[in-house]
Copies of this chain bind each other. A is one copy, B any other.
């Protein structure tokens, strides 16, 4: 179907060979399940990664050699209206599309029953693999994918440390990101720093809380730690409720939140309480979702690599679709972006 090919400048086997630093004949062997044993695992992996990066697929696969395959990959997100997901999904989609795959997205609304139903429906329709961005802990969906022999990749989540399984994943360095936010606040002179955390039971909330505590410890503030309240969901409304609880719980001059939507909810609660950001309380976010530079005040936040996360997740999927063993667990650096929502604590007039 030339006319529907989404990638006009299609990479050739020579491009892959050049990128991987091998002969073209090695590329064909690496991508041919019947011949792969003739080359080393390391070389096969290098070739598969180069092929994924360039969007190259051997014509045998493109012709649908494997019966029952639909050349679609499902991506499952917990909440479509959380602006952190669209840029990640868009990057996944662009990479998969270049390799001739259609991406179908499903929303679980954070419901694990629904997640299982979606996986079953995708499997029944012959999806080639599933990329899970769902926030919920536990791995019913992972187990389901496996029982259906569908490759699975996690993005923006990981399996809990205790859970058995060898599932490739791409996450941000959440703990390090929160630690950097706390170090920034401590550096501005804040001594009582609170944490508005993510929903209990999510890996992101756990890792970010760990980063918060590490930051507090590193700054020598363990004795004066501010309130810690975990929101019920990653939403603006839940953030508002949690911030109201922080205000009731105890004094603090800064709050490091676990997510930009939660930070927006914190803005709402503070405005309603007649407090200003950063005059009365400094606020930091997490994700640097779109428009965070345009809100009032512009949000100091931890920027994750949305596009890179999507690209790497797609590469980990394509690698498995090419018949290679599951890839590694990747952790991408997150970077603090300082804007107007953080400032030194106001000098007490009283």
Are A70 and B296 CB-contacts (below 8 A) given A80-B89, A90-B81, A106-B103?
A: no
Answer yes or no: A346 CB below 8 A from chain B CBs.
no
**From A80, which residue of chain B is reached at the shortest CB distance?**
B86
**Most B CB within 10 A of own CB, among A72, A236, A267:** A72
**From A94, which residue of chain B is reached at the shortest CB distance?**
B109
Answer yes or no: A223 CB below 8 A from chain B CBs.
no
Answer yes or no: A290 CB below 8 A from chain B CBs.
yes
Interface residues of A in 65-107 (CB under 8 A from B): 70-72, 74, 80-81, 83, 86-87, 89-90, 93-94, 97, 102-107
- B90–A102 CB distance below 8 A: no
Are A121 and B70 CB-contacts (below 8 A) given A80-B89, A106-B104, A113-B25?
A: yes
Q: How far is the CA of A295 from the CA of B293 in the complex (A)?
A: 9
Tell me the smallest distance from the CB of A277 to a CB of chain B, in Å.
11
- B81–A290 CB distance below 8 A: yes
- B102–A118 CB distance below 8 A: yes
Tell me the smallest distance from the CB of A296 to a CB of chain B, in Å.
4
Query: What residues of chain B lie closer than 8 Å to A120, measured between beta carbons?
Result: 4, 35
**What are 11 inter-chain pairs, A to B, with CB distance below 8 A?**
A4-B117, A70-B121, A80-B93, A81-B86, A81-B290, A83-B83, A83-B290, A103-B107, A294-B296, A296-B296, A296-B298
Residues of A within 8 A of B (CB): 1, 3-4, 6, 23, 25-26, 28, 35, 38, 70-72, 74, 80-81, 83, 86-87, 89-90, 93-94, 97, 102-107, 109, 111, 113-114, 116-118, 120-122, 124-126, 236, 264, 267, 290-291, 294-298
